[in-house]
Amino acid sequence: MQPILANYTASISELKKSPTQLLKNAGDEAVAILNHNVASAYLVPSSLYEKMMDVMDDHYLSKTVDERLKDNEKPIRVDIDDLLT
């Protein structure tokens, strides 16, 4: 059985009827769209999507940093404010 990764669910019929109301009812959370009681899509508010993208960006940046630190070169400490001037 496939897990439903949302606290709110709606059928495709409900989505067609009133997508704005679904988002309003869910607040800042995702809504699992069900087709025959199986999640077929997730309706994600823009604020949550932006947070998800930030987390993904941070993850990939962290991986890049880890890979670059593996080359045994000594890292150079930099103050972010120095880069902005």
Handedness of CA 57, 38, 16, 27 (dihedral sign): negative
CA 20 to CA 25: how far, in whole Å? 9
pLDDT at residue 84 in the model: 83
Altogether, the residues listed in the chain come to a count of 85
The two three-digit tokens of residue 23, written as one number: 């988002």
Alpha-helix residue ranges (DSSP H) falling in 1-85: 12-17, 19-26, 46-69, 80-84
Output the average pLDDT for the chain.
Answer: 92
CA 81 to CA 85: how far, in whole Å? 7
Is a pLDDT exceeding 90 seen at residue 74? no
So where are the chain's domains? 8-71
pLDDT at residue 56 in the model: 98
If you classify domain 8-71 with CATH, what class do you get? alpha beta
- The pTM of the full predicted model, rounded to 2 decimals, is 0.75
Condensed to tens digits (0 to 9), the pLDDT of residues 21-57 reads 999 999 999 999 999 999 999 999 999 999 999 999 9
Is a pLDDT exceeding 80 seen at residue 83? yes
